[in-house]
Chain A
Amino acid sequence: MKSRELDVPPPAWAEPAGAARATGGVAGFLRQALALAEMELRKLLHDPTELLTRIIQPVLWLGVFGEVFTRVRAIPTGQMPYLDFMAPGVLAQSVLFIAIFYGIAAIWERDLGLVHKLLVTPAPRVVLVLGKALSAGVRALPQAFMVYVLAWLLGVRVKWEAGALAGVAVIVLLGAAAFSTLSLIAACIVKTRERFMGIGQALTMPLFFASNAVYPVSIMPGWLKGFARINPLTYEVDALRALMVAGGHSLYGIGLDLIVLVITSAILTYIASLLYPNLAR
């Protein structure tokens, strides 16, 4: 002990770190994950411009692609108007695009040093990854709302029942979690923005086109059907189609869709929690 300490009165916070004990436990972990989501929400409230710029893509898909293909009648959608068929696909797509952005956000946070600061908090890695997954959900929900309004304006028979809307919110959160975590895994592997640029495209395009988002799986060639059946986006769209549009129905059952999304998110979260510390190295 240094002599200098003896004449200094004990400081107010010299008691054993109470903070260390207050963390931990499921409730503590949940609070930590929610803190990260809150951070995202506060950022979004300070600067909501991204919400507006991100609506452009769904406008093009529904307003241009959708309107044209409705007239062509090239895609067999049964009793459903084509625009009704593709609206849930476009919703899933905009959630996917937001989620895939999270990998590059993680690299940005690494360059800033924020990742390092998150990693030195007592929050377990898996909680940090869950927090990031929830953050993606925070951005995805207002986006989903805007796609709803857009679809409704274009004449899609949107279901406005509370139960269906709640179901859509759950599916959107799960979809955002699964794909943002996938993107985070890619970011943890490549680590630099330059290398990630191409990966964003390489992930989103195959996931989108090899899914039932804008055409049914039944019209795909056999090899592509196989991929579409293991593509989590297919299950996300399948559930959204039943929940978002009047007259829409699920091919695989909403129960199976949920199970696929939950299991995918859980596996990806686990992998990401192992890789996330790499970002600080």
Chain B
Amino acid sequence: MNVIETSSLTRRFGDLTAVDRLTLTVDSGEVFGLLGPNGAGKTTVIKMLTTLIPPTSGQAKVAGFDVQRRAARVRAETGYVPQLVSVDGTLTGYENLLIFAKLYGVPRSERQARIAAALEFVGLGEAAHRRVGGYSGGMMRRLEIALAMLHRPRVLFLDEPTVGLDPLARQAVWQHLRSLAQEYRMTIFLTTHFMEEAEALCGRVAIMNLGRTAALGPPEELKASIGRPEASLDEVFAHYTGHELDNGGNIREISRTRRTAARLG
């Protein structure tokens, strides 16, 4: 069953076409990666799929519901981890989860059990009653994941889930995402500009460049498609887009990434 379906999904900002006729499907339980440099339109795709911005044209369905006409249902069925670190530093980890459990309408009888389970799942049981301001970057990210799974969504959207994390913390986040997909069959849709991340997590990837899909398929197939199965994803990327994947991007994206990195310490 397709959990995500888009057809000719397009978003323009003035003259700029941020996402240009994106058509893709993501199967239930799949870990799907949207790969591309900053400014390729990845975040815009996620914002459309999570109902934060309406498409200019084209359609998208998430969990079987149209993102524009059934936005409330789409929101109830999805979890979202934004690129920015949005947990509140003044509150404890437990309190952050409590407020969102209430916002998502988790029934009172199940609230405490689900919060405890989510904290346990991401390994924050011990730190639950400490203020998030004192958490490490990796802990904050894990808390974000716990927060996004409280209402048992069918799809989890993550925008650059490990940007600004050190390699060890990154591994831990990957580990949790893998078990979400494997143990709970949650569909995971993530954006990344780390090739390594896509390799480590994703069953299929779409390579995005300037708003368009340059290539789509399992990493191995993409490598085979350029005639060199031993190639790295970086080389695949360069092959399809004609340029290297660098950390470019406009000043807003760079300052956002820096701000995230700064908050993660």
Cα A162 to Cα B131 with chains together (Å)? 37
**Contacting B103 at CB < 8 Å: which of A4, A12, A113, A121?**
A121
Chain A residues near B106 (CB, 8 Å)?
A: 19, 22
Residue A31 is within 8 A (CB to CB) of chain B in the complex: yes
Expressed in whole angstroms, the Cα–Cα distance for A12 and B106 within the complex equals 15
Asked, given contacts A117-B80, A120-B78, whether A17 binds B91 with beta carbons under 8 Å apart, the answer is no
A 6-26 to B, binary, CB cutoff 8 A, 1 in contact else 0: 001001111001111011100
Question: B175 interface residue, CB < 8 Å from A?
Answer: no
Residues of chain B from 51 to 86 with CB closer than 8 A to chain A in the complex: 51-53, 72-73, 75-78, 80, 82-86
Cβ-defined contact, A19 with B152, below 8 A = yes
**In whole Å, how far is B158's beta carbon from the nearest beta carbon of chain A?**
12
Given contacts A8-B182, A35-B99, contact A17 B76 (CB under 8 A): yes
Residue of A1, A11, A121 with highest tally of chain B CB at under 10 A: A121
Q: Could you tell me the distance between the alpha carbons of A124 and B259 in the complex, rounded to whole angstroms?
A: 29
Is B90 part of the binding interface, using a Cβ–Cβ cutoff of 8 Å?
yes
When the two chains form their complex, are residues A11 and B83 in contact, meaning their CB atoms are under 8 A apart? no
B98-132 residues with Cβ-Cβ distance < 8 A to A are: 99-100, 102-107, 131
Whose C-beta in chain A lies nearest to the C-beta of B73?
A: A20
Mark each residue of chain A from 99 to 127: 1 if its CB lies under 8 Å from any CB of chain B, else 0. Answer: 00000000000011110111111111000
Asked if B50 and A120 sit within 8 Å, CB to CB, the answer is yes
Q: In residues 1-49 of chain B, which contact A (Cβ within 8 Å)?
A: 1, 27-30, 47
Q: Contact: B99 with A36, CB < 8 Å?
A: yes
Contact A120 B85, CB 8 Å, known A1-B28, A11-B184 = no
The reply to whether the CB of A180 lies closer than 8 angstroms to some CB of chain B is no
Q: Which residue of A32, A113, A277 is within 8 Å of B83 (Cβ)?
A: A113
CB atoms of B103 and A5 under 8 A apart: no
Number of interface residues of B (CB under 8 A): 45
How many angstroms from the CA of A34 to the CA of B99 in the assembled complex? 9
A47 close to B85 (CB less than 8 A):
no
Q: Do B102 and A32 touch across chains, with their CB atoms under 8 A apart?
A: yes
Q: B166 to chain A: closest CB distance in Å?
A: 21
B185 at the interface (CB under 8 A from A): yes
* Residues of chain A from 76 to 120 with CB closer than 8 A to chain B in the complex: 111-114, 116-120
A73 at the interface (CB under 8 A from B): no
Once A11-B185, A19-B152, A43-B91 are accepted as A-B contacts, the answer to whether A112 and B103 lie under 8 Å apart by CB is: no
Taken together as a complex, chains A and B put the C-alpha atoms of A281 and B182 apart, in Å, by 33
A31 CA to B102 CA, complexed, in Å:
7
Flag if A2 contacts B29 (CB, 8 Å): yes
Interface size, chain A (Cβ < 8 Å)? 44
A71 at the interface (CB under 8 A from B): no
In angstroms, Cα B144 to Cα A117, docked, is 10
Contact partners of A224 in chain B: CB under 8 A: none
Contact A23 B104 (CB under 8 A): yes
Q: Report chain A residues within 8 Å CB of B91.
A: 39, 42-43, 46
CB distance from B100 to the nearest CB of A (A): 7
B77 near A20: Cβ-Cβ < 8 Å = yes
Residues of B contacting A39 with CB < 8 Å? 88, 91, 95, 99
Query: Which B residues between 179 and 236 are near A, CB-CB below 8 angstroms?
Result: 182-185
Report B-chain residues with C-beta under 8 Å of the C-beta of A23.
76, 104-105
Alpha-carbon gap, A24 to B75, bound state (A): 13
Contact indicator A122/B105 (Cβ below 8 Å): yes
Q: Which residue of A lies closest to B157 (CB)?
A: A120
Q: A2-B29, A8-B183, A17-B154 are in contact. Are A114 and B105 (CB under 8 A)?
A: no
Query: Chain A residues near B50 (CB, 8 Å)?
Result: 120
Instruction: Give the residue name and chain of the B residue nearest to A4 (CB).
Output: B29
Q: B82 contacts A113, CB within 8 Å?
A: yes
Sorted nearest first, the 8 A-B pairs with minimum C-beta distance are A113-B84, A23-B105, A20-B76, A35-B102, A113-B86, A13-B152, A113-B82, A19-B151
Given pairs A39-B91, A113-B86, A280-B52, 8 additional interface contacts (CB within 8 A): A2-B29, A13-B152, A19-B106, A20-B105, A43-B91, A117-B86, A120-B50, A122-B72
Q: List 26 A-B contacts (CB under 8 A).
A: A1-B27, A1-B28, A4-B29, A5-B28, A8-B183, A11-B184, A12-B184, A17-B77, A17-B152, A17-B154, A19-B105, A20-B77, A23-B104, A31-B102, A32-B103, A36-B103, A43-B90, A47-B90, A116-B80, A117-B86, A119-B52, A120-B50, A120-B52, A120-B78, A122-B72, A280-B47
